[in-house]
Amino acid sequence: MRKTPSPITILAMIVLFYMILNGIRLLATILNWKILILYGSFPGPDYMIIVSLVWIFIGSLLMLCLIKRYSKTQLLITLFAGLYSTWFWIDRITFQHQFHNFLISLVGTSIMLLLIILLLKRQGTKIYFQRER
């Protein structure tokens, strides 16, 4: 059995981090449901729960693909990293209207995307997803 390359481990940790982040969002929404309704949070707790569940599901799918060494995992991770970043910014601009810490969020998003791309381009990552025949 071959040792898992460190880029794969780091990618798995990134996916797990975002799954945990959305799990916390899901739990916080459930625990604060009445407060969110009382103060008329927009777009509402239904949206927050659905979005959290979708990203947890996608994260679980990506983890399974990483573990099973599915050949299209690199494409899926690239696709969903881009979709997550796009969703993050659309959600932030449309619903949250939070422009403080804009630069920190922009730099953080850019660094995370760059890190994911660099990890996917590593030779060890490419070899990992080549199926043994």
Q: What is the pLDDT along the chain (133 residues), one digit of tens a residue?
A: 568 899 999 999 999 999 999 999 999 999 999 999 999 888 899 999 999 999 999 999 999 999 999 989 999 999 999 999 999 999 888 887 767 788 898 999 999 999 999 999 999 898 898 865 3
- pLDDT at res. 95: 83
Report in angstroms the alpha-carbon separations of 19 from 16, 65, 91, 107, 126. Answer: 5, 15, 17, 21, 24
Q: Which residue in 64, 74, 82 sits closest to 124, CA to CA?
A: 74
**Residue 83 and residue 109: Cα distance in Å, rounded?**
12
